[in-house]
Copies of this chain bind each other. A is one copy, B any other.
Amino acid sequence: MPQQFTTDTLSLSFGMPQWAVSALNDLPEYLPSHEERMAAVIEFSRKNFQNGTGGPFAAGVFERDSGRLVVIGVNRVMPYNCSSAHAEIMAMSLAQKMLGVYDLGGEGLPAHELVVNWRPCAMCFGAVLWSGVRSLVIAGDGPELEEITGFDEGPVHEDWRGELARRGIALTEDVLRDKAIEAYREFNASQNVVYNARQGEA
């Protein structure tokens, strides 16, 4: 018998882990500096694999100027069987839901910033462009993430900095780079599973 599609089979739902609910409530309402924002994000990335609730990635949405915390999301690929449930997608989607907008840079809103514990992967780089955030803060870019963890980051556009600039998204790099790398090394030592797409198999 062919499959019957229902409203239920055609629905998706995602949540953050219980520890993240508590940890978000424990954070101050405002994190004024980039370092404070990144430290919180890195801490969430670490808690995520320590608790077995996803990969070593977190992303925070903040009001750019005031530092008001909107939300921090974490990678949920494995718990939800969803290869798109990267931290950036979770964080930006949650922020958009909470604010009731599909454009975080829309009129009447304060400018929003995304803070991530490495340069977003090929998919998430595109998602950043579409989200409406006006600034992106990353702990670093370069081969270390792939080398340490084994994750494939995919084909980000060669002129990714220019593509951000052309869309009015300011970039701040190398914020707590060493601390981010330290967390990746800890992840690597933890024997967690690394999921990558197929590699050239037929």
A residues in contact (CB < 8 Å) with B:
2-7, 9-16, 18, 20-21, 24-25, 29, 71, 77-78, 80-85, 89-90, 92-94, 96-103, 105, 121-127, 129-132, 134, 152, 154-160, 163, 166-169, 195, 197-202
- Complex: how many Å from CA A16 to CA B9? 9
Q: Known: A9-B98, A10-B15, A157-B155. Contact between A132 and B89, CB under 8 A? A: no
List of B residues within 8 angstroms of A13 by Cβ: 11-14
List of B residues within 8 angstroms of A125 by Cβ: 122-123, 126
- Complex: how many Å from CA A94 to CA B6? 12
List of B residues within 8 angstroms of A9 by Cβ: 94, 98
A169 to B, closest residue via Cβ: B198
A12: contacting residue among B6, B94, B132, B155, CB under 8 A? B94
A6: contacting residue among B14, B21, B160, CB under 8 A? B21
Assess the B126–A101 pair: CB atoms within 8 A. Answer: no
A167: contacting residue among B100, B157, B197, CB under 8 A? B197
List of B residues within 8 angstroms of A121 by Cβ: 126, 130
List of B residues within 8 angstroms of A29 by Cβ: 2-3
